[in-house]
Structure 1
Amino acid sequence: MADRPTLLRPPPDDPKKAPIENVLDVTELAVLGPNIFTNARKPWHPPGARGIFGGAVIAMCLAAAQRTVASDFLVHSCHCYFLLAGSSELPILFHVEQVRDGRSFATRTVQARQRGRCIFTTTISFVRDSSSATSSSGSSSSGGGATVVSHTSELPRGEDGNPLQPPPDDFADEPEVMAGGPFQGTKIEMVNRESAKPGDKKTQQWIRARGKITGGLPAHLEALAYVSDSYFIGTITRIHKLWRFPFRADDLDRLPEPVRAKVRTLHQWEGMGEDPGEMVGRPAIGMMVSLDHTIYFHEPTKVRADEWMLAEMESPWAGDGRAVVMQKIFSKDGTLLATCVQEGLVRLQQPAPDRKEAKL
């Protein structure tokens, strides 16, 4: 396989599509065999990350799998494992296996491969749309005469006791350093910031895809899958107040002012507090890697990823070098669209050993 980001020449971005649709575009490679797809464009490699952005791989696997099921089947769950760091300089092949096609459910497994090695695998389950026509509408239906079991979490409330409100449609308060990706978001807010128990804290952020998604419901679902990996395992750095930059917190004042300004902006925007100087003496992240990722799509027909959605994250457990984070994604009208779970490897930076003079 050639050392280039795509097998085929990348097409020009389609201005009629939202940026996220161009990012997640996959192409079928029937010449190689049935149900084999590849990325149309070079995937994003976040600065400082070991590999490409995991959300892109999740979403492109979903895009490939959705191409192999009937149009009246909708994704309701994805169970994913990150196996190897993906390279942004090599094309990805997505191998879809049609595990089962039933009357109500269909199952697909997808392997993402580079140079013959599986870097990511997922099992995706689809449900026929008609089977969820009487799904939850908000109230419990467990009383007499009920035909379905139904309940749902409500949109979180603010300090005033009212449901949180999305930003205005013309929101443009992002700092320049955050304004380049296919998704737009607000500053991350921390709930119960002063609690001594990290498990009591939650982060909240409004997010939406830039532009207008034109590819129909499948494109909205792929976009949600992509953004579900944003800031996910990184929640641990916020609730434990861990330093995440590749230099010591007490070295910040020695850096050039443009670098200090960028760090201050990122620190504040990610909900860590106003002053990064408060992080001096705090533990620092040595390694943080996603291990697995699960998405439950509760109301797939209601997903509109180019409209404001609220992502709320919390962690019920961390230990033994791993941590688990749970995420709820709500639409702006309060519908619980999806619940996501991620486990990641979390290792702290170890103090440098004391240097001792060698004995002669």
Structure 2
Amino acid sequence: MADRPTLLRPPPPDPSKAPIENVLEVTELAVLGPDLFTNSRQAWHPPGARGIYGGSVIAMCIGAAQKTVPDDFLVHSCHCYFLLAGMSELPILFHVERLRDGRSFATRTVQARQKGRCIFTTTISFVRENSSGSPSSQVSHASPMPLGPDGLPLQPPPDDFAGEPELLNQGPFQGHRIEVMNKESPHAHEKVTRQWVRARGEIAGGNQSHLQALAYVSDSYFIGTITRIHRLWRFPFKVDELEAMPPNVQESVRTLHDWEGMGDPKDMKNQPVVGMMVSLDHTIYFHEPAKVHADEWMLNEMSSPWSGDGRGVVTQKIFSKDGILLATCIQEGVVRLQELPSVERKESKL
């Protein structure tokens, strides 16, 4: 049989669901064995990346694991490793293993496989809603919503925002331009990037779908934060070559570069060039899983406490539009500068 992107014929998109729900749908394969699932639709391969988008695999693994726990158990953490580049031309099999089922917590591991090889693995922990006892028995605190220049908590874009560049408005998520704070600081660890994001449409599948959607978007621009705080050139050609390219290519590069908070490409002359950037692992702590509404504006704030030895670590806080800290994420990746002209430069997820 020829290679194809799904094991079963993809169903038509469900118009009653948000685009992200259709993208992340998984199908159970009970006829082949217990706790086995597959992607219902082709996984997205970002242009220039070595493999499929890692956020989609994280989210589909969570979706598969969710189907093996009771409905009142919500994911509160997942710890993931990207092992091999996933191929969009092949179906993915998700093998769920039930490690533990307790009264308050349940634990699952999920392996994503293609052609018998594990491309991704994650351990996911679920907590039963309202199982933490009375408020008087809990210790609580949370980072507040960042403040704007006026000293007030940041406010989301308007609900009717439509300012995305055309080349970026085709995916299941909508985003606002990335801002780099403390841009003039000589210390990379003092810089912070911020971006407002939300799923397009209205998510109809309940809380579980909102959590999958948050996991999906958490991988967007993540390890790439290193390029922004160090002002690294990441395109597969020299800055000086841009002026000789077709006008439409120049326009796209300038638009993308500015949208990522990097300003005008001409200011990048003599800046270091990315040689290789690959995500290694990804952790998400869902602090308020029952309060996640991924189809409403959420603020992603990213910073990096460290990079070195060919790797970088980035932390991410995700806030709801009304200031609730919904999740904290951590990612480590390979980050190497170009040493030879022949070194290939690609931002990769799997």
* Cα drift, residue 133 of structure 1: 6.5
Alpha-carbon distance between aligned partners in 1 of 2:127 and 2:277, rounded to the nearest angstrom: 34
What is the CA distance between 1:130 and its match in structure 2?
Answer: 1.5
Paired position in structure 1 for 2:117:
117
Partner of 2:96: 96
CA RMSD of aligned residues (A): 1.1
Of residues 223, 226, 229 in structure 1, which corresponds to 2:216? 226
Aligned equivalents of 1:131 and 1:57: distance in 2?
A: 29
Alignment correspondent of 1:141: none
- The match for 1:303 is 292
CA distance in 1, matches of 2:98, 2:2: 28
Q: Is the 8 A contact 1:243 1:282 kept in 2?
A: yes
- Residue in structure 1 matched with residue 49 of structure 2 by the alignment: 49
Rg larger in 1 or in 2? 1
* 1:118-152 CA-partner distances (Å, limit 9, x unpaired): 000000000111224656xxxxxxxxxx5211100
Does 2:308 align with 1:319? yes
Equivalent in the alignment of 2:348? none
SS at match of 2:77: strand
Distance in 1 separating the partners of 2:285 and 2:228:
24
Q: 2:257 aligns with which of 236, 260, 267?
A: 267
Deviation at 1:34, TM superposition (A): 0.3
> Shift of the alpha carbon at 1:334?
0.3
- Whether the aligned pair in 2 keeps the contact of 1:2 and 1:90 (CA below 8 Å) is no
Amino acid corresponding to residue 330 of structure 2 in structure 1: V
Counterpart mapping for 1:150-299 below 5 A: 150-273=140-263, 275-299=264-288
Counterpart code for 1:148: Q
Residue deviations 1:179-230 (CA, integer Å, cap 9, x gap):
0000000000111000000000000000000000000000000000000000
Once the two structures are aligned, what percentage of the paired residues are identical?
Answer: 73
Consecutive unaligned residues in structure 1, runs of 5 or more: 136-145, 354-360
Deviation at 1:160, TM superposition (A): 1.2
- 1:131 and 1:74 map into 2 onto residues whose CA distance is 11
With the length of structure 1 as denominator, give the TM-score of the two structures: 0.94
Equivalent residue letter for 2:8: L
- Partner AA of 2:252 in structure 1: K
1:351 CA displacement: 3.7
How far does the alpha carbon of each residue in 1:320-355 deviate from its partner, in whole angstroms, 9 at most, with x for none? Answer: 0000000000000100000000000011111449xx
**Corresponding residue of 2:20:** 20
SS of alignment partner, residue 131 of structure 1: coil
CA 134–185 in structure 1, closer or farther in 2 if over 3 Å, else same: farther
Using structure 2 for the length normalisation, give the TM-score.
Answer: 0.96
Distance 1:346 1:10 in 2: 36
Asked whether the equivalents of residues 108 and 123 of structure 1 are also in contact (C-alpha less than 8 Å), the reply is: yes
Amino acid aligned to 2:338: Q
Distance 2:157 2:341 in 1: 45
Local SS of the residue matching 1:225: helix
C-alpha displacement of 1:250: 1.2
Aligned counterparts of 1:278 and 1:132: Cα–Cα separation in 2: 52
Which residues of 2 match residues 27-106 of structure 1 at below 5 A? 27-106=27-106
Structure 1 CA distance for aligned equivalents of residues 217 and 75 of structure 2: 16
Cα offsets for 1:160-184 (capped at 9, x unmatched): 1110000110000111011000000
Q: Unaligned stretches of 5+ in structure 2?
A: 343-350
Quote the Cα distance in structure 1 between the aligned partners of 2:339 and 2:271.
12
1:127-146 equivalence runs, <5 A: 127-132=127-132, 134=134, 146=136
Opposite residue 72 of structure 1, the aligned amino acid is D
The equivalent position to 1:335 in structure 2, one of 318, 321, 324, is: 324
Higher relative contact order by CA 8 Å / sep ≥ 6: 1 or 2? 2
Once residues 233 and 333 of structure 2 are traced to their aligned partners in structure 1, the CA distance between those partners, rounded to angstroms, is 17
Post-superposition offset of 1:315? 0.2
C-alpha deviation, 1:280, in angstroms: 1.1
CA drift of 1:2 comes to 4.6
8 Å CA contact 1:101–1:107 kept in 2: the answer is yes
TM-fit CA distance, 1:106: 0.3
Question: Counterpart amino acid of 2:228?
Answer: R
Q: Which residue of 2 aligns with 1:345?
A: 334
Task: Look up the equivalent residue of 1:109 and give its one-letter code.
Answer: T
